[in-house]
Structure 1
């Protein structure tokens, strides 16, 4: 772990890299679209089957046990804590997307929840009028006009795209856990708890996915639509949704899931 941290770019180098990306990307007026193009469908379906099998054998039972033995207040605190850990990435990406006002508000939210909220266990910022946001580098690239490229299913991580998959690395190195000096057992214990908690929060959606005629296609198309909601901050133009789905597909898939807050 120490070897990995030693290879993290210095802040000055990271800023220089961001500046180069900004210059090369220019000021795109139309965000890059997220497409459901699936030229690697055979491979993606194979990875989806692997993920689904691993989930049913290992992750889902653990998530169900976690949800059964932990009270709601405990899960709320865990969710707040891990959500707060993602906020440095959200703040940086707000500024990269040209939204300094929201970036400053999100910085205030992060400071308030980290201090008054006892390390993020309590969400005191939302009642104070600082609503939660969720930005990542994949959304930033889309704002810069970078198209998604083909749809891609990642082992263990699930739905993604050629644009969004490598963007995860940028956001990973903005996470506080990379830089906090704690034993590696504690760090990966926290990461494991994050995975289990996130899976437990998705358990109510299992019945909807299982009832779909083609769960793989349902997940792919729902992810693409949700990604567009995220990129447009919950307000995609009507023509974007029309491009994502034909009337026949929309009737087959049913209502799209609400965007993640």
Structure 2
């Protein structure tokens, strides 16, 4: 015993087994458990006991976080809206997505790639500025409908300056005068500001991602586009075709980042982008407050 006490690494014999009378049989495992599967503590290595311990540990961990932070992270960051609620027509939408994707892969994307390869960068910038300046008319009309008078004045000033000094919008002169380009407005955003719900997600043939609210609004945006009122239909269609190609070309680099289920990625990106535009970028964080007060 003295040797055991002096050697801290010596194996200590099972004192309980040594102290037990020789005539007393060893305790039997509870129930019908296999003795080979029972550890020294009388619990099975596998089965409900272990599962219960793991579940208890997870519950204790969640309770500790809730006690420390005042909320359960698993519940706080989970989406309140399930995919089937926002995308109940997923079967139809996926079929339309494949149709649009095929048309894009065979026609629109090759044209956009060729446009990027043969058009000098300064011309691409000028063309993009020109169509952005045409869109300022749509921005002004929807700003007025949404009672955004300050933004309406900003966009009106941009249109007047870029259409004259900026040579029909080829140069963004207004930006250097303190009139910054906005994220853009459309009639779908106006309907949202008026209180109309977005409705289910919808993929429109040849048009792409949309919603039940935004799809009909495309018709209004078509008629508020100044290019629609050109007398020469050939010129109108040519300019709108160039606008579409330059817009597609601007998305080539972003498209290379998409991995996994492209349908889900594009759906979620579209819906989040629409919420951002409708709220003018003013989104409340997940904690329901302003993070700036925590000096992050």
What's the CA shift string for 1:17-46, capped at 9, x where partnerless?
Answer: xxxxxxxxxxxxxxxxx9960111000000
- Normalising by structure 1, we get a TM-score of 0.75
Q: In structure 2, how many angstroms separate the alpha carbons of the residues matched to 1:144 and 1:240?
A: 27
Q: TM-score, normalised by structure 2?
A: 0.67
Q: Does 1:217 align with 2:267?
A: no
1:68-79 correspondence runs (5 A):
68-79=117-128
2:160 aligns with one of 98, 111, 114: 111
CA distance in 1, matches of 2:156, 2:118: 34
Give the number of aligned pairs: 205
1:144 aligned partner? 194
Q: Which runs of 5+ in 1 are unaligned?
A: 1-33, 242-261
Asked if the contact 1:148/1:164 (under 8 Å) is kept, the reply is yes
**8 Å CA contact 1:35, 1:148 repeated in 2:** no
What is the CA-CA distance between 1:185 and the residue it aligns to?
Answer: 0.9
Per chain length, whose mean CA-contact separation is higher, i.e. which structure has more relative contact order (CA < 8 Å, sep 6+)?
1
Offset, 1:179? 1.9
Question: Which whole-Å CA distance do the structure 2 matches of 1:224 and 1:236 have between them?
Answer: 14
Q: Which residue of 2 aligns with 1:230?
A: 277
Alpha-carbon distance in structure 1 between the residues aligned to 2:82 and 2:213? 11
Residues 35 and 108 of structure 1, relative CA distance in 2, 3 Å threshold = farther
Divergent runs of 4+, >6 A: none
Conservation of the 8 A alpha-carbon contact between 1:35 and 1:149: no
Distance 1:171 1:239, change over 3 A: farther
Rg larger for: 2
| Partner-residue secondary structure (3-state), 2:177 | coil
- Corresponding residue for residue 4 of structure 2: none
Alignment of 1:167 with 2:214, yes or no, is no
